[in-house]
Amino acid sequence: MRGNKVPTEEIKRDPAAFADRVTADGRFGRSAEAGRYRLVINRACPWAHRTVIVRRLMGLEGAISLAVTDPRQEIIEGDPHWVFTEETGSPGGLDPVLGIHALREAYLARDPGYDGGVSVPGLVDVTTGHLATNDYDRLCLDLATEWGPLTRKDAPDLYPEALRAEIEEVGAEVYRDLNNGVYRAGFAPDQARYDRAVAGVFARLDDLEARLSTRRYLVGESLTLADIRLFTTLVRFDPVYHGHFKCNIAKLTEYPALWAYARDLFQTPGFGDTTHFDHIRVHYYWVHTAINPTRIVAAGPDPQGWLTPHGREGLGGSPFGKGAAPGPVPADERVPGIS
């Protein structure tokens, strides 16, 4: 996420700087071991949120510990950085497991000469302090398919082999026009590029509205990675993308099928219980000073609507397929709920 720099060109996302894969058999050099890795995230970030949802649905909380950075990034040597603070449960501003203040320290432990950007999520090898990967997409895929016996026995199949081509096809369209499209609109350097980006956002929302009017989930009859990829953008749409990123042609709540679909997911274990609306609003409005120089954090919208009945059960399907819902959220990972 960009911070205090005024955009001069259209936002472009660089490939992940570090993309080690962690698998049950260690065939790429890193093996899945309980307690070896720590997942560093920020609850405001949609890309990090994906990994938290997958980790929870697969029952990997006991195998991979979680570290949460402050939603207000700290400026270090002129750039905004993800840091640990007392406010987010890190005594003395140091992560209690890794012993670092800023995630970039794990990047530099891996490569002392690294001078690129620092992003969440970051999977850090606790044994060395080195960043293993910041490739959120590959990390989600591997958490869903490669952690073998460390996943819970009744975990859902989030990436069924027979549906993978369709999951990736839908995901590519959603990423281009919506996941990344809201950023291209929000950080557009001129009117023409904003107009193109915002038109793409709402064209994709219109297509999704039609698709989800007749089916409960994006691909197949149960949850897949396609739904997780979409949800983390939808849940941020009205709180930050609609106003802060000028994606204000319509609100999510004005799309009957999409709004019901989003509520259905939110009320499913793993989705709403990993969503922290305060962190979302505070991060976007406080950090992006190029488009909100006053750092005034918007008060709304009221999140109560997320708990209203969605009526999607009539479309068939079941969230976890042949699996079952995950258990309760670990006590030290709970986020403020909606009352």
Active site residues: 45, 183
Q: How far apart are CA 66 and CA 158, in angstroms?
A: 21
Q: What would the two tokens of residue 62 be?
A: 């006991």
Tell me which H or E stretch contains 209: helix 191-211
Please choose, from the candidates 236, 338, 265, the residue with its C-alpha nearest in 3D space to the C-alpha of residue 56: 265
What are the φ/ψ torsions at residue 288 (nearest 5 degrees)?
-85, 70
Q: How far apart are CA 56 and CA 75, in angstroms?
A: 31
Please choose, from the candidates 300, 293, 305, the residue with its C-alpha nearest in 3D space to the C-alpha of residue 278: 300
Residue 162 CB partners (closer than 8 Å, separation 6+): none
Residue 159 CB partners (closer than 8 Å, separation 6+): 141, 144, 145, 167, 224, 225
Is the distance from CB of 40 to CB of 124 less than 8 angstroms?
yes
Helix and strand tally (H, E) in the chain? 9, 8
Q: What would the two tokens of residue 278 be?
A: 């305060």
Using a 10 angstrom Cβ sphere, with 0-12 exposed, 13-18 middle and 19 or more buried, the burial of residue 336 is exposed
Q: What would the two tokens of residue 316 be?
A: 């068939």
